[in-house]
Chain A
Amino acid sequence: MASSSSLSLSSPHFPSSSGLRSRSQRDPAEAVVSIQARKWWPGRSGSAAAVAAAVRKRYKGTAMREKKLAEMIEKKVEEAKAACEGEERRGSDGCKVAWDEVEEVSQAMARLRRRLAESDRDPLDAFCQENPETDECRVYDE
């Protein structure tokens, strides 16, 4: 890969390596590094490659949370619609609690998305530095 300047952001000729996201397309050097780093599960430190990968790896725990929240949103919207179906149920306690649950998980999802978007570090970064052996801290291969 040509390690030309990263100004070639929108170059259509950029090789897209094995499903890496557009971020790596901006900087060819980074793209190389993160391919190599995938061999370094579960994220042992000790080389520049692993360190660079450590900046951007995703932990299983974060992926699990994202998946779980997405499923909960879908499920709870359905439950809420059912809980408010019909004359007696509309406006009932069950109905408003169900929509409150939808709001709760929607907020939690929005918060997770914001944390993922605004930082290169995974939200579980600090936790996984202290607890690298847990299942949650396995590096997630997307």
Chain B
Amino acid sequence: MAVCTVYTTPSLHSPCSVSNPTKTSFGFNQRQQVIFYTSGRGSRRRGGKKISEALYCSAEAKTVVIGLAADSGCGKSTFMRRLTSVFGGAAEPPKGGNPDSNTLISDTTTVICLDDYHSLDRTGRKEKGVTALDPRANNFDLMYEQVKALKEGVAVDKPIYNHVTGLLDPPELIQPPKILVIEGLHPMFDPRVRDLLDFSIYLDISNEVKFAWKIQRDMAERGHSLESIKASIEARKPDFDAYIDPQKQYADAVIEVLPTQLIPDDNEGKVLRVRLIMKEGSKYFSPVYLFDEGSTISWIPCGRKLTCSYPGIKFFYGPDTYFSHEVSVLEMDGQFDRLDELIYVESHLSNISTKFYGEVTQQLLKHADFPGSNNGTGLFQTIVGLKIRDLYEQIVAEKAAAPTEATKV
């Protein structure tokens, strides 16, 4: 029976201070701890203001769950790296365990690859004639059970799907983190799992861009050719369209990547047009906008104040409907060439949930070597990361402000 009276300044970096020696483990479910901090400790980070912090009051140590649907395999995808960087720290595979683990862990975030919930290994799928995209190759019951458990603060023994051997390896223990990201092909496929998600993102890559990216990825490998890359995409397309693509209607944010419209007949896929489609009416998510929320804006920042090199940059913002729900769409076509273009654009965007002016630019520069750092993919992935941080802090603040609920064990 724990009583928690709190004022909180929720922050991803609040130390979880506990009265027993296991203070390094964020995720432990402290069912009987009452931890109450006053001023002093917290004031360091807030410039001397006296703020009281109380943390992890009993069973309400809630894990925020994010779903990311992408067809690019798991582990260290660019989006994931940007996301974990916004929260602080770099996500690394768990130390010492199975070296082929797909899991990534940072101070605040654990990223789980949904391939680990394959019910059929490579041989099994071949026998049954199903691809990895097919729901029949995946154990949604287990996925639901384990995501639910982690969300409630309970550690789980999660299977490991080994992409090198194609086998299911013995499980690894996953502690409940502050933020759990489930990444893979089917995060929003099962309605029960969907309901556990606090926020979901779908990466929608158009066919032309997918082809260009896979060429970049695979052409140098022995055995691959333009034909094999094309054949692979086409053979997987029916299952992709049937099982993966429909998930985008459930996403809170869709990042759509298309070929540029600025260069006629461009087929290199280097300059991209990226659309951030944001669901309206989500409790903790306020869509990014340009100039005037709800209006329609067409904006070319290049001109007298800002000179851009070819092909320039073009923005669009406006309301729309997407699968019969209200959305706002922010679109960027073109690429950034210089730092001042980035900061100029950032200064004109609203609702980007930055903690200081220039944070988006700083994040993009920090990872300038990541693909997409000079175009809409990097920009919108970074912004979505900041929105998720904001969502996390809102949820935590709300939880902490409800002390009566915290007495339930």
Contact = CB atoms under 8 A, between A and B. Distances in A.
A15 interface: no
Q: How large is the interface on A (under 10, 10 to 19, 20 to 34, 35 or more residues)?
A: 35 or more
Given A77-B224, A99-B235, A108-B163, A130 B96 contact: yes
B224 A106 contact: yes
A84 B235 contact: yes
B224 A126 contact: no
B73 interface: yes
A105 to B, nearest CB: 8
B222 A70 contact: yes
User: A99, A100, A126, A130: which has the most chain B beta carbons within 10 Å?
Assistant: A100
A88 B131 CA distance: 19
Given A108-B73, A114-B76, A102 B228 contact: yes
A82 to B, nearest CB: 12
B55 to A, nearest CB: 29
Interface string B82-113: 00000000001101110100000000000000
Interface residues of B, number: 36
A65 interface: yes
A96 B131 contact: yes
Nearest to B74: A111
A49 interface: no
A123 B217 contact: no
Contacts of B76: 111, 114-115
B31 interface: no
Interface in A43-85: 61, 65, 68-70, 73-78, 80-81, 84
Interface in B199-239: 214, 217-218, 221-224, 228, 231-232, 234-236, 238-239
User: A76, A111, A123, A136: which has the most chain B beta carbons within 10 Å?
Assistant: A111
Given A96-B236, A110-B217, A104 B223 contact: no
Interface of A: prevailing SS = helix
A103 interface: yes
Interface in B376-399: none
Contact of A126 (B93, B133, B223): B93
Contacts of A97: 125-126, 129-131
A61 B99 CA distance: 10
Given A95-B235, A111-B73, 17 more contacts: A69-B164, A73-B223, A73-B224, A80-B228, A96-B236, A97-B129, A98-B235, A99-B234, A100-B125, A100-B133, A102-B232, A104-B132, A105-B163, A108-B164, A129-B96, A130-B96, A131-B96
20 contacts: A61-B99, A65-B164, A70-B222, A70-B223, A74-B222, A77-B223, A81-B228, A94-B129, A96-B131, A96-B238, A98-B235, A99-B231, A100-B133, A100-B236, A101-B126, A103-B236, A104-B122, A106-B217, A110-B218, A123-B99
